[in-house]
Amino acid sequence: MLEETVATGRRKTAVASIRLRSGNGQVDINGRSLEEYFPLEIQRRTVFAPLEKLGGNNRYDMIIRVKGGGVEAQAVAIRLGLARALVENDENLRHDFKSHGYLTRDSRKKERKKYGRAGARKRFQFSKR
C-alpha cells in the first residue's frame, strides 16, 4: 500500500476528502469520532459499505474532512471518496465496487428557483377571479 492515499467524493453540495493510511481502524471526521458524527447505524453502514466488501475496516486509518450538504449527502460523499481511495490502492477492486454502485457519482442536484414561479417548477396558485 502507498503511504497515504487521498480521494474526493461528492453528493449534492457535500464534498468529502478522505485520507487513507495503513493503521488499526482509527476514523476521524472533522475532528470528531465516527459515532459522534454519524449517530445512526444506517449512516455508519453507508460510509463503510466499501470496506465491508473487503471484510473489515481495521486495516486503515482514515482522516475525513467533509463540508456542505446534509448528513445523508455527506455519508454518500464519504462512501464515494473511500471507494475511490481503495481502488487507487488496489485496482482489482474496481469491478466489484462498480457493480455495487460505490464508484458512481450521483450527479443530482437541487434545481434552481425560476423567476415568476413558486419554486423550480411549481407555479403560483392560479386564481380565476
84 touches 27 (CB < 8 A)? no
What pLDDT is stored for residue 30 in this prediction?
96
| Residue pair 108/72 in contact by the 8 Å Cβ criterion | no
pTM: 0.89
pLDDT truncated to tens, each residue of the chain (129 aa)? 558 999 999 999 999 999 999 888 899 999 999 999 999 999 999 999 998 888 766 788 999 999 999 999 999 999 999 999 999 988 998 999 999 999 999 999 999 999 999 999 999 999 998
| Vertex 51 angle, CA 69 and 103, to 5° | 55
Domains of the chain by residue range: 4-100
Q: Which residue bears the cell 448528513? A: 71
CATH 3.90.480.20 fits 4-100, yes or no: no
pLDDT score recorded for residue 67? 97
pLDDT of residue 32: 95
